[in-house]
Amino acid sequence: MRITIPVLGFGRAGGNRVIAELASCWVDMGHEVCILSRDSSMSPYFPTRAKIIWLKPDGTQAIVNNPDSAEKRLGYRGVLSNLHSLKIGMETYAFDSDIVLANHALTAWPVSWARILARKFFYVQAYEPEYYALARGLNNRLLQALCTGSYFLPLQRIVNAPIYFKYRFLRAKHFVPPGIDFSLMYPKEDSSFSPTGVIILGCIGRNEPQKGIRYAIEAFNKLREAGYKVKLLIAYGNLPPGLELSPDSEIVTPKNDKELGDFYRSLDILIAPGTVQLGAPHYPVMEAMACGIPVITTGYMPADLSNAWIVQTHDSQSIATTVSIMLADWQTVRNKAQIAYQAIQSFSWEIVSKKMIGIFSE
């Protein structure tokens, strides 16, 4: 099959990783895969074996990308310019593709508008209107409306978690989760746990309020005040405004996925305290499980009571109390971590990429 994927641009978010990995797996399966992106985007942070076509504002091909281009615009008008470029690009370079796959609520619009022969799909990786609703300003209100409207377009929708089968304005019948690279995310050789010594807690730093990192930091401070020997590692920093690092906490900046795997393996407990769309996939939860690390979360896939510790949202005390409970029963910690490791095995990229191709072929 010839598969074309228009993207808003490349970045470091989990959704970018998913597209890069799916595209590479499909290439390895013998499919012809092309990603279309505006030339104002950064180069791919996550490598992919798919072909990339960079598009100028008028939709024609650029030789290379230029992230510092003066044509790069922000805000609502910049988004519309980007979408127009993708539409023209699809009509020019993907007219006879078999499949065109939107992967963001905004890219669903040019996929719907494009006059092409391909069957049109929309892979929903999050309910995006909620994220724009959390931000202020007219631009975000307009983008929120565009995202909401995308769920009514005549595209075949595939979601990445069952919670999105019927979620607000979103309806779907097919489900394909994101995958894990088990060559990078794997348990450390000595996976035995011990509550003695300093307990290393960890989280992925994100400054968006809905990621809930504030509550992980507050819980860490409560544990220190209660006399527990704990240290907090925050990957990438990106602290919420107004929060400062306390003693015994440290920012770690992995340079690539290998070092990110090393970060997880350095932890005793991973905390993922997001506050919205519980039940959706969440890479910190999935990757920590693949590395054999116990997880405290507010309830992201594939965490449940059998393989993780589920806490309330917006509740740092719940996190602190859970850590103290874990330290008092380390045998349960070992058991749940092993159950989680077994549960995550079905999320290999080979399995999920084949599942998506199966849906395309129906």
Helices (H), the chain: 14-28, 75-93, 108-113, 129-133, 138-150, 213-225, 257-265, 283-290, 316-328, 330-343, 349-361
Return the structure tokens found at 129: 């209107």
Residue 180 to residue 290: CA distance in whole angstroms: 8
Average pLDDT over every residue of 224-249: 90
| pLDDT tier for residue 322 given thresholds of 50, 70 and 90 | very high
Q: Kindly state the average pLDDT of the residues 54-62.
A: 94
Q: State residue 132's pLDDT score.
A: 83
162-185 pLDDT, tens per residue?
Answer: 999 999 999 999 999 999 999 999
Q: What is the reported pLDDT for 193?
A: 63
- Residue 56's pLDDT band (boundaries 50, 70, 90)? very high
Mean pLDDT score, 245-268: 93
Report the pLDDT value the prediction gives residue 135, as an integer from 0 to 100. Answer: 75
Position 241 pLDDT exceeds 90: no
101's enclosing H/E stretch is strand 99-102
Q: Where do the structural domains in the chain lie, given as residue ranges?
A: 2-175, 199-347
- Residue 143's pLDDT band (cuts 50, 70, 90): confident
Q: What is the DSSP string of 207-243?
A: -SGGG-HHHHHHHHHHHHHTT--EEEEEET--PPTT-
| 8 A C-beta contact, residue 59 and residue 87 | yes
| 301, two tokens | 């896939």
Three-state secondary-structure class, residue 336: helix
Q: Which residue has the tokens 């003693």?
A: 247
Q: Cα separation of 107 and 255, whole Å?
A: 29
Tell me the whole-structure pTM to 2 decimals. Answer: 0.91
Q: Which residues pair with 174 in a beta bridge?
A: 158
Write down the architecture of domain 199-347 according to CATH. Answer: 3-Layer(aba) Sandwich (3.40)
Looking at residue 73, its pLDDT comes to: 57
Q: How far apart are CA 19 and CA 1, in angstroms?
A: 17
**199-221: per-residue pLDDT in tens?**
999 999 988 888 999 999 999 99
Of all residues in the chain, what percent carry a pLDDT higher than 90? 81
Q: How high is the mean pLDDT of the chain?
A: 93
Record: fold of 2-175: Rossmann fold (3.40.50)
Helix 330-343, helix 283-290: angle, nearest 10: 110
Cα–Cα distance for residue pair 237/253, rounded to 1 Å: 7
Domains 2-175 and 199-347 share a fold: yes
* Residue 74 banded pLDDT, cuts 50, 70, 90: low
> Token pair for residue 307?
């393989």
Residues 3, 189: Cα–Cα separation, whole Å: 40
